[in-house]
Amino acid sequence: MRKILLIATLFIAFAGKSIASDWVYSESKDEMRDKVRHAATLMSEKELSSTPDSAMSLEVILLSDDAGVSDKAGLNLSKAQYSCKTDEQCDVKIRFDNGKIETLYISTTDPNNILLLIDEPRAFVEKLRLSKRVIVELPVRGRGRSQFKFFPDGLKWQGVDSGRRYLSEFGGINLRDKIDLSGKDASKKPNGVICFDDKLEVIIGWVTQAKICTYDGMVSFISIKEKNGKKRARELVTDINKALGSKIKINNGVAMWLSDKTLGISSIWIVLDKKEELSMDFFYNPASSRIPE
């Protein structure tokens, strides 16, 4: 709890430094520890109100140790208070571009009810990087559920380092880069998802056919199937665990890595059926969160 309160204090120190629609980067030095803490802040459009002085706004605050990768994120409300109980889950919804409405998991430790800490900050940052518009809906004391609009395009920071397997890289694909679809035999779905088949070196020495789906040029989903895949399944589980620092095992033919193991950035499913056919599904959440329903 003490650590969370210290983090909350850092967020409050950086609050109120941005203007609508522009990312503002700033820093603060901890002279005792000889460290510099960096912040990136973005203010929402003001919510409509009868008088300008009472118009609420919501601010995104990202914190970083190196002004490149952000590991903490929060939401700061001005001219109002959240209607959330301290230390309990608050019902906050979020929508990235035209994607499905998601629940934003947060922590409330601020006794003044103006600051929310985001529980999966790295995934939040990666989703912000790809989105042009974000809408956040949350309960506000005395005003009911209120919506705030952000335009986060142009964020310079990342939620995770480059080259992190299964987080920012998969099978040699940089998940932050758009894929060149020219010359590929691709099929397009009504929701804008484009899929094609290609070969990937999933782990060193294993090249196999994969179905790759993209949205707006970004990889959102990769599917792999392999016959006689018992050995490959063991190799995959070992490689994923090594990359993520996890200890998942195949249980009843299934192994999965969800939010708590992947920083919320990806979801990975491995299934080995009774005929020893291997199926692997990889979802890159920053891209898939933007896909229209």
Q: What is the pLDDT of residue 207?
A: 94
* Distances from the Cα of 197 to the Cα of 57, 129, 141, 225, 291, angstroms: 45, 27, 51, 12, 20
Q: What is the pLDDT of residue 89?
A: 74
Query: What stretch(es) of the chain map to CATH 2.60.40?
Result: 2-150
| pLDDT of 51 strictly over 80 | no
Work out the mean pLDDT of the chain and round it to a whole number: 89
Mean pLDDT of the 176-195 span: 93
Task: Indicate the pTM of the whole model.
Answer: 0.89
**What are the two backbone dihedrals, phi and then psi, of residue 191, each rounded to the nearest 5 degrees?**
-85, 5
Between 255 and 9, the higher pLDDT residue:
255
| pLDDT of 5 strictly over 50 | no
Tell me, rounded to whole angstroms, the distance of Cα 43 from its chain centroid.
19
Contacts with 108 (C-beta within 8 Å, 6 or more apart), sequence order: 82, 84, 85, 86, 87, 88, 90, 116, 117
Tell me, rounded to whole angstroms, the distance of Cα 2 from its chain centroid.
26
Cα(280)–Cα(171) distance, integer angstroms: 13
Length in residues, the chain: 293
Helix (H, G, I), strand (E, B) or coil at 13: helix
H-helix or E-strand spanning residue 286: helix 285-288
Contacts with 278 (C-beta within 8 Å, 6 or more apart), sequence order: 224, 225, 226, 227, 229, 230, 232, 233, 236, 270, 271, 272
pLDDT in tens, 103-125: 999 887 767 777 899 999 999 99
pLDDT in tens, 133-153: 999 999 998 888 999 999 999
Would you identify the CATH topology of the domain 2-150? Immunoglobulin-like (2.60.40)
pLDDT in tens, 251-272: 999 999 999 999 999 999 999 9
CB atoms within 10 A of CB 31: 7
